DNA sequence: ATTTGCATTAACAATTTTGTTAGATAAATT
DNA sequence: AATTTATCTAACAAAATTGTTAATGCAAAT
């Protein structure tokens, strides 16, 4: 067997593991199912990755990086005017979620199941985004002083935004049961939600015009 | 052993099961841990509930009912003026979540893990809330015609509201890592989020005053 | 060509986890 | 009191699940 074919097998395991872990979580995933889906004996899985735990860490790290990049996306282009920038951030972030709809649920569940992983996450995300959030807070304050927007804590704004963007993905199967007619066309539903996120955040930020 | 003591044992198992299932989910829960936490032999667990699956169903049904009642809470008192009513709905719903912070995650995860349970949920929730949502849509339309609020699809409004209210609970451990200073005082954090939900939804609904 | 080292397999093993059962004990019913 | 029924325990059992290992094959390096 050539080197290329070896890499293919290892890759196949990683791919199958990603699928299994993302949909069933660590506890629900079975190493035998992963091996079977990858088309290899389950001994191979242990040969390449030692333990279920270590294989999982590979996937988790990958997804943590994705999570971090989604937090970067939300910040938008700092050269744009503030409101345009935030609108762009919302759209970027939402599009990122459309490409990775099960990402939030996976991260949340696994961080809660193993709180010791919170440290990894803090390092992965906070260090990258912390200074950028601070920068955005400055820009917000300036715009507020000029009367362009309401004065707001950037963290509260981010939470509003993340809530509106993330929950439809997190709770899709539940929403689908309650508002089935609304979600029938999945693509259209998410496009509508994206627009609604923008609208709601813009209204949260814009100063009401007084007479 | 008297009847009362028997009920106590059965109750102890249910209580321990609730704790275990809510925090670890079906896959992560162990019947032996439940029995141990309840202070009984694990044979007793099988004696009273036959299987892990059946014990789980008991807990799930209980939580589905709670979920349904939280959806009722969100609708508020129909006799209040529309905006007051919606504000009250948000606060009711949020308070309900404060008393049951892990409810949304539990329901979402278990419904996704076993899609056949979606039917149970539909019956539990949609039948109760469906007509009431339709009623609220009427009230919204009337108020919009009178120019008091923006015209909105009630389902989109509900999703905005549920998103803002639910996500802080769903993602608390993650948020806690990113905005640790904000969440340090857990109670204060949630009170602030409650107010923010109200503020954001009110701004989403109110017509901007034109000159 | 021989050696070296990685890749692979099949069989095995340990542990965990759920579930059962037969028999003992207590409670309720007659 | 005798009988019946429900509760309880300890031991056992089956299955699933993760992980190991010894033997084998194969490719590349020497």
Which pair of structure tokens corresponds to residue B7?
């009920």
- pLDDT of B132 strictly over 80: yes
Q: Looking at residue B130, what is its pLDDT?
A: 82
Chain B, nearest residue to A112 by Cα = B173
Assign 3-class secondary structure to chain A: CCHHHHHHHHHHHHHHHHHHHHHHHHHHCCHHHHHHHHCCCHHHHHHHHCCHHHHHHHHHHHHHHHHHHHHHHCCCCCCCCHHHHHHHHHHHHHHHHHHCCCHHHHHHHHHHHCHHHHHHHHHHHHHHHHHHHHHHHHHHHHHHHCCCECCCCHHHHHHHHHHHHHHHHHCHHHHHHHCHHHHCCHHHHHHHHHHHHHHHHHHHHECCCCC
CA distance A13 to A95: 28
Residues from chain A contacting residue B170 (CB–CB below 8 Å): 108, 167, 170
Q: Looking at residue B2, what is its pLDDT?
A: 52
The mean pLDDT value of chain B amounts to 92
The mean pLDDT value of chain A amounts to 92
User: What is the tens place of the pLDDT at every residue in A149-170?
Assistant: 999 999 999 999 999 999 999 9
- pLDDT of A124 strictly over 80: no
pTM for the structure as a whole: 0.93
Q: Looking at residue A178, what is its pLDDT?
A: 86
Domain spanning A1-50 has what CATH number? 1.10.10.60
- pLDDT of A211 strictly over 70: no
The C1' atom of D9 and the CA atom of B101 lie apart, in whole Å, by: 38
**A residues 25-64 lying closer than 8 A (beta carbon) to B:** 25, 27-28
CA distance A164 to A87: 13
Task: Mark yes or no for CB contact B162/A167 under 8 Å.
Answer: yes
Which pair of structure tokens corresponds to residue A113?
């199941």
Q: What is the mean pLDDT of residues B4-24?
A: 89
Q: Looking at residue B129, what is its pLDDT?
A: 84
Chain B, nearest residue to A116 by Cα = B173
Q: Is the CB of B9 under 7 A from strand C?
A: no
Q: Looking at residue A5, what is its pLDDT?
A: 56
Q: Is the CB of B178 under 7 A from strand D?
A: no
- pLDDT of B6 strictly over 70: no
User: What is the tens place of the pLDDT at every residue in A60-100?
Assistant: 999 999 999 999 999 999 999 999 999 999 999 999 999 99
Q: Which of B22, B94, B171, B204 to mutate to test the interface with A (most CBs of A within 10 A)?
A: B171
- pLDDT of B124 strictly over 80: no
Which pair of structure tokens corresponds to residue B211?
């000159």
* Nucleotide whose C1' lies closest to the alpha carbon of residue A50: D19
CA distance B111 to A179: 16
CA distance A194 to A182: 14
The C1' atom of C28 and the CA atom of B2 lie apart, in whole Å, by: 10
Find where tokens 């769903």 sit.
B170
- pLDDT of B210 strictly over 80: no
Q: For strand C, list residues 50-79 of chain B whose Cβ lies within 7 Å of it.
A: 50-53
Q: Is the CB of A2 under 7 A from strand D?
A: yes
CATH architecture type of domain A59-205:
Orthogonal Bundle (1.10)
Q: Looking at residue A2, what is its pLDDT?
A: 53
Residue A186's region, left for phi above 0, alpha for psi from -120 to 50, else beta, is alpha
Q: Looking at residue A142, what is its pLDDT?
A: 95
Instruction: Pick the most confident of A161-170, B3-12, B72-81.
Output: A161-170
Q: Is the CB of A42 under 7 A from strand D?
A: yes
Q: For strand D, list residues 2-31 of chain B whose Cβ lies within 7 Å of it.
A: 3, 5-6, 9
Tell me if residue B78 falls in helix, strand or coil.
coil
Chain A CB within 8 Å of residue B107 CB: yes
User: What is the tens place of the pLDDT at every residue in B157-183?
Assistant: 999 999 999 999 999 999 988 888 888
CA distance B149 to A82: 27
Q: Looking at residue A6, what is its pLDDT?
A: 58
Give me the residue spans of the domains in chain A.
1-50, 59-205
pLDDT-derived band of residue B117, with 50, 70 and 90 as boundaries?
Answer: confident
**Cβ atoms of residues B179 and B114 within 8 Å:** no
- pLDDT of A1 strictly over 70: no
A62 to chain B nearest CA, in Å? 17
Residue burial A128-156, b: 16+ Cβ < 10 Å; e: rest = ebeeebeebeebbeebbeeeebbebebbb
The C1' atom of C11 and the CA atom of A60 lie apart, in whole Å, by: 32
- pLDDT of B191 strictly over 70: yes
- pLDDT of A172 strictly over 70: yes
Phi, psi of B206 (to 5 degrees): -65, 140
Q: Looking at residue A145, what is its pLDDT?
A: 94
The helix, strand and coil proportions of chain B, stated in percent and rounded to the nearest 5, come to 80, 0, 20
Task: Mark yes or no for CB contact A159/B177 under 8 Å.
Answer: no
pLDDT-derived band of residue A125, with 50, 70 and 90 as boundaries?
Answer: confident
The C1' atom of C20 and the CA atom of B51 lie apart, in whole Å, by: 11
Among the partner residues A118, A153, A176, nearest to B173 by beta-carbon distance: A118
Q: Is the CB of B47 under 7 A from strand D?
A: yes
Share of chain A above pLDDT 70, in %: 96
Q: Looking at residue A8, what is its pLDDT?
A: 87
CA distance B91 to A192: 26
**Cβ atoms of residues B178 and B75 within 8 Å:** no
Q: What is the mean pLDDT of residues A127-135?
A: 85
Residues from chain A contacting residue B104 (CB–CB below 8 Å): 171
H or E segment at B43?
helix B42-49
Phi, psi of B149 (to 5 degrees): -140, 165
A114 to chain B nearest CA, in Å? 10
- pLDDT of A4 strictly over 60: no
Q: Looking at residue B180, what is its pLDDT?
A: 80
- pLDDT of B5 strictly over 60: no
Q: Looking at residue B182, what is its pLDDT?
A: 85
Phi, psi of A206 (to 5 degrees): -65, 140
Tell me if residue B166 falls in helix, strand or coil.
helix
Share of chain B above pLDDT 90, in %: 77
CATH class of the B57-205 domain in this structure: mainly alpha
- pLDDT of A204 strictly over 70: yes
Tell me if residue B209 falls in helix, strand or coil.
coil
Chain A CB within 8 Å of residue B149 CB: no
Q: Looking at residue B197, what is its pLDDT?
A: 98
């Amino acid at each position: 067997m050539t080197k290329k074919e070896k890499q293919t097998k290892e890759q196949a395991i990683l791919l199958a593991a990603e699928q299994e872990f993302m949909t069933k979580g660590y506890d629900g995933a079975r190493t035998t199912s992963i091996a079977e889906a990858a088309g290899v004996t389950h001994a191979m899985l242990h040969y390449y990755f030692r333990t279920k735990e270590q294989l999982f860490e590979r996937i988790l790290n990958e997804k943590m990086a994705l999570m971090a990049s989604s937090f970067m996306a939300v910040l938008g282009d700092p050269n744009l005017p503030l409101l345009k920038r935030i609108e762009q951030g919302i759209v970027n972030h939402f599009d990122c979620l459309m490409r990775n709809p099960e990402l939030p649920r996976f991260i949340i569940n696994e961080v809660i199941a193993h709180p010791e992983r919170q440290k990894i996450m803090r390092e992965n995300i906070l260090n990258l985004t912390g200074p950028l959030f601070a920068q955005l807070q400055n820009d917000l304050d300036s715009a507020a002083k000029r009367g362009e927007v309401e004065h707001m804590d950037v963290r509260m704004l981010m939470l509003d935004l993340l809530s509106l963007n993330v929950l439809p993905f997190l709770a899709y199967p539940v929403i689908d049961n309650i508002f089935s007619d609304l979600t029938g066309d999945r693509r259209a539903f998410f496009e509508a939600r994206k627009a609604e996120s923008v609208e709601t955040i813009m209204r949260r930020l814009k100063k009401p015009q007084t007479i």
